[in-house]
Amino acid sequence: MVALYVLLGFILLLVIDYFVIRGEKKYHPAFQKKYEVVEDVVFDNISVTIPADSYVSKGHTWAELQGNGLIKIGVDEFILRSIGRFIVTNLVNPGTVVKKGDVIMNAKLGDKNFNFRSPVDGTVNFVNDELVGKTVFDPYGEDWGVMVSPINFERNAVSLRANEKVVEWMKNEFIRLKDYLVEMSVQPQLAGVTMLDGGKMVEGAVAHLNKESIKKFEDEFLTI
């Protein structure tokens, strides 16, 4: 019985303490909500995958030769993770004749716009209509962009990379992008945004750049 009175007395004091502190617009530790700390998602040059049996352009679009002679084109994972999970807003129309370097896909993330270019010359035969309006998650699978009937593919392939050359080039691109983001982060509006942590990079760091820096990023990393 004594123990019960002690317990009830303790609860009563705790409740009184709670309402007193609440009246002072403070929070009692016993009633304060716990929040989980969520860290930024990071990546490095080892965790980024490259498309198997494909060619990759310096504009970070890949070209995969299909059994029917067409070439499937999409964006690589490196650029997706650098920009963030962007939404495709437009694809070039079927029947369009494109040259290497022509824009074939438009995308956006927030109020930032990005353009991706064809790695080869050819005529657009098919487009992935389901990709328009969609957030890209699977760049080497269902989130491919267009298929083209190639023209002068052998000549185009000279400036593309495949297999081990892609791996080495991607490592250099990772370093180059880190250096670029460090350079851009000296601007006051980017303070606290970028991202270096022991050789890792925060996913979507590019999307935090201002529009002028985005344009420069496109010139540096997305042109062919």
pLDDT for 65-75, tens place per residue? 999 999 999 99
Cα dihedral 120, 124, 125, 128 sign: positive
Task: Tell me what the mean pLDDT of segment 205-216 comes to.
Answer: 88
In this structure, of 18-32, 158-172, 189-203, the range with the lowest mean pLDDT score is: 18-32
Q: What is the pLDDT of residue 135?
A: 95
In the structure, what pLDDT confidence band is assigned to residue 196 with cuts at 50, 70 and 90? very low
Q: What is the pLDDT of residue 76?
A: 93
% of the chain exceeding 90 in pLDDT: 50
Helix spans in the chain (H): 2-23, 77-83, 153-157, 164-184, 211-221
What is the DSSP-derived secondary structure letter of residue 40?
P
Mean pLDDT (the chain) is: 78
The single residue listed with the structure tokens 């992008």 is 177
What is the DSSP-derived secondary structure letter of residue 107?
E
Please check whether residue 60 is in contact with residue 206, taking contact to mean a CB–CB distance below 8 angstroms. Answer: no
Task: Tell me what the mean pLDDT of segment 8-24 comes to.
Answer: 46
